């Protein structure tokens, strides 16, 4: 019977299935960071257990690390303790690789996994972080897990799972200039809603997806979780293989040839059955801007803030009204008339080299608007930062009035010092616009790097399709 990519990944990892369909699924790669691992290591210790396979673990500190003044260390004592706890656990238990605070290769866990070639096609990849779906861009079965599951994977190298449904999101046609993978992701969420992918593993396919770089595919899979799906994935093709060649942890020599031959099979068979199918015409996708407090509250940049009075469903209407109050927006305001206080380019959604190149191209030779209090670029990893500096992108950003920071999660979730003040409005390339996500009372609009960069220059949103 023809199988989907997800069916193949699932079948090749089942160790054991119970009668009710509960399966023990083998885990190949376990990514670890400081926030969701301390309680798991503590649990192991209390139970007198050891990690099952240390060489499956790749770890870094990213959520709490500062993005300025690295020579002064981590000032917040509670954050420091969490990072030091990870250091101590790494010393005690070990890992295949650990990129601690201050290491050149440190960075956001979902940026460094692929960058190091620690994420390979056909793997199961887990991490105590919902945006683990990012790694599905490499035809992996990758998803976020809770801390109890982190401990479970450490102790058993397996996860207790029920098979999800197969969902296909097919996007066909060429993307217009200025329309990116981020806009595709937001358009998909706008169409199916934040619960649209619940209990499904989503495969992104179609000619628009094939045409995306690995960076773009990662952006798309990253946002699958915001559509409620646990996992997003893209089939293997030449783009995947070209990206992996020569990465530090990628196979070499004879293993490389064997691996590539196997990876080529990681595609959905013709005629494979999906439980749900959603189709989008790429030509209709315009640059997207979220206006509310959920990623599904999104419209095109040339549209207006929606009017709750036109919404018939009472729960939805109330949600819209609440969001507009929180966001300090009036219905029917033109999106291009929304003025901003801060701009954040970063996060595991959009902080890779390609994102920084695209943003830099928008701002080269221009100045950040005087009304913008802070515009910052936070590279996804130390290696992305170094690459950008080799290309002179840091100078482009600095000369335009952007701050150029050290890598980390930063203002994506504002666990470190980078945050919005109450009432501040931010164009952000991250993935969540929830209340308080970027700082208590802060107002987040999710956009692509190009849109964020242009908004910094103009001081308000602008349609990048017309940017000169």
Identify whether the C-beta of residue 128 lies closer than 8 Å to the C-beta of residue 33: yes
Q: How many CB atoms lie within 10 A of CB 230?
A: 23
Q: Out of 194, 239, 265, 387, name the contact with other proteins by CB under 8 A.
A: 194
CB of 15 to ligand SF4, least distance (A): 28
Q: How many CB atoms lie within 10 A of CB 53?
A: 15
Site for other proteins in 3-22 (CB under 8 A): 15-16, 18-22
**Nearest by Cα to 188 from 73, 282, 264:** 282
Burial class (CB in 10 A: 0-12, 13-18, 19+), 242: exposed
**Residues 33-72: x/- map of binding to other proteins (CB under 8 A)?**
--xx-xx--x----x-x--xx-x-------xx--------
Q: Out of 181, 413, 420, 426, name the contact with ligand SF4 by CB under 6 A.
A: 413
Q: How many CB atoms lie within 10 A of CB 254?
A: 8
**Helices (runs of H) and strands (runs of E) counted in the chain:** 15, 19
**Residues 375-404: x/- map of binding to other proteins (CB under 8 A)?**
------------------------------
CB of 401 to ligand SF4, least distance (A): 24
Site for ligand SF4 in 62-81 (CB under 6 A): 62-63
Q: Out of 34, 129, 215, 424, name the contact with ligand SF4 by CB under 6 A.
A: 129
Cβ-proximal residues to 111 (8 Å cutoff; 6+ apart), any chain: 348, 351, 352, 380, 381, 384, 407
Site for other proteins in 426-445 (CB under 8 A): 432, 434-437, 440-441
CB of 397 to other proteins, least distance (A): 27
**Nearest by Cα to 456 from 348, 355, 339, 352:** 339
Scanning 116-124, 282-290, 365-373, 383-391 for contacts with other proteins by CB under 8 A, the matching segment is 116-124
Size of the site for other proteins (CB under 8 A): 79
Site for other proteins in 320-359 (CB under 8 A): 322
**Is the sign of the CA dihedral 22, 25, 31, 32 positive or negative?**
positive
Scanning 65-73, 332-340, 362-370, 413-421 for contacts with other proteins by CB under 8 A, the matching segment is 413-421
CB of 464 to other proteins, least distance (A): 28
- The smaller minimum CB distance to other proteins, of residues 155 and 170, is found at 155
Q: How far is CA 96 from CA 28, 116, 249, 275, 285, in A?
A: 12, 12, 10, 38, 42
**Binding-site partner at residue 347 among other proteins, ligand SF4, none, CB < 5 to 8 Å by type:** ligand SF4
Tally of CA atoms within 13 A in the half-sphere of 202 that contains its CB: 35
CB of 134 to ligand SF4, least distance (A): 8
- The smaller minimum CB distance to other proteins, of residues 135 and 460, is found at 135
Cβ-proximal residues to 284 (8 Å cutoff; 6+ apart), any chain: none
Helix H segments across 247-352? 253-263, 314-327
**Binding-site partner at residue 251 among other proteins, ligand SF4, none, CB < 5 to 8 Å by type:** other proteins
Scanning 159-167, 238-246, 311-319, 408-416 for contacts with ligand SF4 by CB under 6 A, the matching segment is 408-416
Q: How far is CA 228 from CA 184, 196, 206, 370, 438, in A?
A: 16, 6, 21, 38, 21
Site for ligand SF4 in 347-386 (CB under 6 A): 347-348
Scanning 40-48, 114-122, 406-414, 444-452 for contacts with ligand SF4 by CB under 6 A, the matching segment is 406-414
DSSP 39-107: HHHHHHHHHT---S-GGGEEEE--SS--SS-GGG---SHHHHHHHHHHHHHHHHH--SEEE-TT-TT-B
**Residues 321-350: x/- map of binding to ligand SF4 (CB under 6 A)?**
--------------------------xx--
Q: How far is CA 12 from CA 15, 119, 131, in A?
A: 9, 17, 23
Q: Out of 8, 13, 131, 182, name the contact with ligand SF4 by CB under 6 A.
A: 131
Three-class DSSP category at 195 = coil
- The smaller minimum CB distance to other proteins, of residues 39 and 387, is found at 39
Q: Out of 130, 134, 350, 381, name the contact with other proteins by CB under 8 A.
A: 130
Residues that bind ligand SF4 (CB under 6 A): 62-63, 108, 110, 129, 131, 347-348, 409, 412-413, 430-431
């Amino acid at each position: 019977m023809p199988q989907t990519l997800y069916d193949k990944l699932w079948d090749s990892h089942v160790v054991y299935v119970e009668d009710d369909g509960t399966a023990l699924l083998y885990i190949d790669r376990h990514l670890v960071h400081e926030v969701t691992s301390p309680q798991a290591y503590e649990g192991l210790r209390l139970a007198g257990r050891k990690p099952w396979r240390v060489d499956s673990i790749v770890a870094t500190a990213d959520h709490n690390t500062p993005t300025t003044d690295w020579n002064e260390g981590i000032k917040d004592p509670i954050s420091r303790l969490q990072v030091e706890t990870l250091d101590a656990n790494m010393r005690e238990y070990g890992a295949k690789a650990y990129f601690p605070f201050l290491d050149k290769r440190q960075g956001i866990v979902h940026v460094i996994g692929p960058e190091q070639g620690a994420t390979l096609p056909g793997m199961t990849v887990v991490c105590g972080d919902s945006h683990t779906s990012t790694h599905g861009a490499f035809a992996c079965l990758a998803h976020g897990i809770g801390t109890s599951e982190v401990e479970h994977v450490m102790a058993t190298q397996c996860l207790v799972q029920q098979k999800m449904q197969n969902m296909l999101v097919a996007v066909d046609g060429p993307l217009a200039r200025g329309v990116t993978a981020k806009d595709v992701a937001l358009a998909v969420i706008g169409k199916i809603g934040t619960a649209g992918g619940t209990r499904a593993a989503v495969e992104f396919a179609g000619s628009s997806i094939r045409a995306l770089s690995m960076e773009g595919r990662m952006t798309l899979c990253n946002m699958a979780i915001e559509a409620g799906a646990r996992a997003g994935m893209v089939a293997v093709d030449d783009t995947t293989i070209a990206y992996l060649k020569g990465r530090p942890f990628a196979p070499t020599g004879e293993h490389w040839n064997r691996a590539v031959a196997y990876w080529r099979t990681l595609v959905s068979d013709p005629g494979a059955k999906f439980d749900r199918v959603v189709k989008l015409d790429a030509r209709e996708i315009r640059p997207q801007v979220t206006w509310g407090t959920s990623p599904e509250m999104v419209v095109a940049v040339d549209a207006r803030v929606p009017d709750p009075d036109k919404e018939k469903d009472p729960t939805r209407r109330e949600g819209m009204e609440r969001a507009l109050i929180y966001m300090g927006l009036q219905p029917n305001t033109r999106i291009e008339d929304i003025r901003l206080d801060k701009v954040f380019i970063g996060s595991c959604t959009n902080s890779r080299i390609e994102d920084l190149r695209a943003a830099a191209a928008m701002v080269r030779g221009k100045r950040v608007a005087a009304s913008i209090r802070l515009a910052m670029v936070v590279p996804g990893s130390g290696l992305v930062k170094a690459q950008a500096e080799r290309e002179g992108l840091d100078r482009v950003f600095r000369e335009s009035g952007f701050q150029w920071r050290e890598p980390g999660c930063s203002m994506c979730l504002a666990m470190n010092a980078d945050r919005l003040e109450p009432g501040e409005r931010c164009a952000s390339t991250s993935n969540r616009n929830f209340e308080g996500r970027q700082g208590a009372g802060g107002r987040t609009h999710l956009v692509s790097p190009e849109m964020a960069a242009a908004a910094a220059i103009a001081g308000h949103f602008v349609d990048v399709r017309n940017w000169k």
